[in-house]
């Protein structure tokens, strides 16, 4: 019987808790990939001391989306069956990896997505209100387009069938990259399911940096990514129809 080859990827950018996260993930005895997105705290020197992990180091900060794209590429090029992604900022409990592992192999989905808002009731834990409201609005837009009925469009705690990742063409390097994943998954006819994971915000004052610090700018950035993906879909459909008419007179 084929044993599934599983990779856990951890994106990193100056997070203080990453050493603890790696050690706890290591308890599952899975292959680990750390993608260091240009950390400036000397972390890359420490990473080489960890055994049994792969490391990709960006020479400068390229963006959260690029770290996930790199993980997708590494998983596909190295023959993995499943890829799990978990953030390194303490928002995800590594022990909850077991929730994903017990679902493998996937029979009814291609993407198993964690959700911090899985239940209709609002979570008891404190969370940044502005982030929650933006998440809620964008998740609603994603659902109206795709019919996925997800409850958390931005949770980075996910598991993927690697064979399906090969079909995607992802280009967004910023925080909005998960939205590109949702729209492309819908275009490809992939199956999506959610499981509840803990909602953890250890630092309620943590802010986005740069222009995304402004919530209106951030919301518009997310909407623009969705619109671009939809526009590309429409243009591709038109091109296909024109080609069929030209060559097949249909």
Each residue's pLDDT tens digit, 11-62: 998 887 788 898 899 999 999 999 999 988 877 777 777 777 999 999 999 9
pLDDT at 134 over 60: yes
Q: What is the mean pLDDT of residues 131-145?
A: 92
Q: Which two tokens stand for residue 170?
A: 């992802």
Cβ partners under 8 Å of residue 139, min gap 6: 150, 151, 152, 153, 154
**Using the 8-state DSSP alphabet, how is residue 122 labeled?**
P
Q: How far is CA 168 from CA 119, 220, 245, in A?
A: 30, 24, 27
pLDDT at 100 over 80: yes
Q: Which two tokens stand for residue 194?
A: 């959610």
pLDDT at 84 over 70: yes
Indicate the pLDDT class of residue 121, thresholds 50, 70 and 90: very low
Indicate the pLDDT class of residue 125, thresholds 50, 70 and 90: low
Q: What is the mean pLDDT of residues 237-246?
A: 49
CATH homologous superfamily, domain 6-206: Spore Coat Polysaccharide Biosynthesis Protein SpsA; Chain A (3.90.550.10)
Nearest residue to 72 via CA among 143, 1, 11:
11
As a whole number, the mean pLDDT across the chain is 85
State the pTM of this model: 0.85
- Cis peptide before 105, with omega less than 30 degrees from 0? yes
Which DSSP helix (H) or strand (E) runs through 227?
A: helix 215-248
Question: Looking at 47-56, 177-186, 218-227, 231-240, which range is the least confident one?
Answer: 231-240
Q: Are 91 and 202 in contact (CB under 8 A)?
A: yes
pLDDT of residue 153: 95
């Amino acid at each position: 019987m084929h044993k599934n080859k599983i990779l856990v990827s951890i994106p990193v950018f100056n997070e203080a808790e990453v050493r603890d996260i790696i050690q706890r993930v290591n308890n599952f005895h899975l292959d680990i990939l750390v993608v260091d997105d240009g950390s400036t705290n000397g972390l890359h020197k420490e990473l080489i001391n960890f055994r049994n992990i792969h490391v990709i180091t960006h020479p400068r900060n390229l963006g959260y989306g690029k770290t996930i794209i790199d993980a997708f590429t590494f998983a596909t090029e190295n023959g993995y069956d499943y890829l799990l992604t978990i953030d390194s900022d303490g928002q995800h409990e590594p022990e909850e990896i077991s929730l994903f592992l017990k679902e493998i192999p996937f029979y009814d989905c291609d993407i198993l997505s964690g959700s911090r808002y899985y239940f209709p009731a609002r979570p008891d834990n404190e969370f940044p209100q502005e982030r929650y409201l933006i998440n809620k609005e964008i998740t609603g837009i994603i659902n109206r387009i795709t019919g996925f009925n997800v409850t958390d469009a931005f949770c980075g705690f996910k598991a993927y069938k690697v064979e399906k990742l090969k079909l995607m063409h992802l280009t967004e390097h910023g925080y909005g990259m998960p939205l590109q994943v949702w729209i492309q998954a819908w275009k490809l006819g992939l199956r999506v399911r959610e499981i509840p994971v803990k909602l953890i915000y250890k630092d309620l004052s943590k802010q986005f940096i740069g222009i995304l610090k402004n919530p209106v700018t951030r919301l518009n950035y997310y909407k623009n990514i969705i619109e671009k993906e939809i526009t590309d879909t429409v243009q591709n459909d038109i091109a296909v129809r024109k080609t069929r008419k030209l060559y097949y007179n249909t």
